[in-house]
Amino acid sequence: MKSFFSWLVGEEYIPKNPALKLKQTKQPKRLRNALTEEELEIFKNACKTLREKTIVEFLVSTGCRLSEVVNANIKDINWSEKSLYVIGKGDKQRKVYFNTRTKLLLKSYLESRNDNNEALFVTSKKPNSRLGARSIQRELKNISNRTNSEKSIFPHLMRHTFATHKLNSGMSLSVLQHIMGHDNPATTQIYASLNEENILHEYRRVS
């Protein structure tokens, strides 16, 4: 209604906007439930190829956005530090980190390739071009179908799972904000919203 009346005023069909003081309605925030540790292990075990295993581990280990994974390059990896420079929103560069399991999988995956592409992940068929966003989404969907899970699994859910698990493990919001590349701390705060998994985790931690 606000948009409609604004248009009427703009086109000079009416002299005054009667909806000017109407407050904007806000949609309630709906958090996607992060994968539990059990669900994540089931998902990992459903991976068949080395590339599938590496992509999944990389996503859940770094918390990267899908676009950041697509644009990641081999030369930006610091193997000794287990870190990688990625380009996030607003063309901003930041450093993300990965665990030892991810490092070993990345090494194995890269050694299995017979191409000279600078991209971290490439297509399996020649000319082995950079793996696109839709291909990664399709890869996760195929893995998900093997688990017979009712939960829809997609790249951003892996990022959400990373953030939730890190907070549950005691990582501070400020550190998580930096790792995830959030400009606004309120965005990171969303992951700290209490849900049943967080409550159960804290209960068991202090029991």
Q: Is 151 a catalytic residue?
A: no
Selecting among 53, 165, 182, 201, the annotated active-site residue is 182
Q: Is 146 a catalytic residue?
A: no
Selecting among 32, 89, 101, 205, the annotated active-site residue is 89
Selecting among 65, 160, 165, 201, the annotated active-site residue is 65
Selecting among 107, 138, 151, 156, the annotated active-site residue is 156
Longest dimension (CA), the chain: 70
What SS3 class is residue 90?
A: helix
Selecting among 159, 160, 165, 201, the annotated active-site residue is 159
Q: Helical H runs in 46-182?
A: 50-62, 66-71, 100-112, 133-147, 155-168, 173-180
Residues 6+ apart with CB under 8 A from 93: 85, 86, 87
Q: Is 65 a catalytic residue?
A: yes
Q: Is 156 a catalytic residue?
A: yes
Please state, in angstroms and rounded to a whole number, the distance separating the CA atoms of residues 47 and 101: 15
Active site residues: 65, 89, 156, 159, 182, 191
